[in-house]
Structure 1
């Protein structure tokens, strides 16, 4: 029997792609050390992902929140940034679940974000962004819509 997955209570704030790109470029913050990018796509996980991202599909993320929290809380990670295709559905929902989980915890310094525009917005922003992708396949992004 599958547990019912609730709607999140919290709306996580958005983080601009410019800010994330600055984190990646500057070297002052390192993906996997100071921050974590979480790509929550599953079936549409094609065409590449932002360098350093973990792929944790939204469909299974809720049930793994305690493990994700425990792993991240034991590190120097300060920010967790969730995204999906457009960051209008799965990205905000999963970030909300994680933010709800964080609200129940004491003494942590983790912050939770949603990448504004998602991976589609990242790709549409141009080469200065796509050069920071792993597995980037331009043909997978032809005729993309951010919405």
Structure 2
């Protein structure tokens, strides 16, 4: 599994406007703690969405045109890597003959590390103080 550092992800997000098709898709697989702060523009899809092949296949179809899909949880030690592996394995099945497949990455250190570095930057993190 390929990892991306918080710094590299932050640089990419700063250089790629939200509406830009080249912008990576950020999938936050945390549960309720998503509401307490998250990477700006992240999609919240908790781990339960990656349990069944049919559910993952639908996500692959939905996000197949993205250049990069970055997964994370709080620390990217269990849930984030698990969901990234599930997505990548179904990507190879669903898009077996496709010309393009998104790159699948995991945010090193998860949201905890990203927020530690960029939690005060409203261009990168939102809802940090909402509980």
Deviation at 1:109, TM superposition (A): 2.5
Distance in 2 (alpha carbons) for counterparts of 1:50 and 1:90: 17
Distance in 2 (alpha carbons) for counterparts of 1:19 and 1:115: 10
- Comparing both structures, which one devotes a greater share of its residues to helix? 2
Match of 1:86 in 2: 75
Q: Which among 89, 94, 113 is matched to residue 105 of structure 2?
A: 113
Distance in 2 (alpha carbons) for counterparts of 1:127 and 1:41: 17
Q: How does 1:37-116 map to 2 (within 5 A)?
A: 37-63=26-52, 64-73=55-64, 75=65, 77-104=66-93, 105-107=96-98, 108-116=100-108
Deviation at 1:39, TM superposition (A): 0.3
Alignment CA distance shift 1:31-1:79 (3 Å):
farther
How many aligned positions are there? 125
Q: How does 1:126-145 map to 2 (within 5 A)?
A: 126-127=118-119, 131-137=123-129
Deviation at 1:60, TM superposition (A): 2.3
Residue 44 of structure 1 aligns to a residue whose secondary structure is helix
Are the aligned partners of 1:21 and 1:129 in contact in 2 as well (CA < 8 Å)? no
Alignment CA distance shift 1:58-1:110 (3 Å):
same
**Which 5+ residue runs of structure 2 have no aligned equivalent?**
none
Distance in 2 (alpha carbons) for counterparts of 1:97 and 1:52: 22
Alignment CA distance shift 1:98-1:127 (3 Å):
closer
Are the aligned partners of 1:23 and 1:30 in contact in 2 as well (CA < 8 Å)? no
Alignment CA distance shift 1:112-1:31 (3 Å):
farther
Residue 18 of structure 2 is aligned to residue 26 of structure 1: no
What is the CA RMSD across the aligned residues, in angstroms?
A: 2.2
Deviation at 1:124, TM superposition (A): 1.3
Deviation at 1:84, TM superposition (A): 0.2
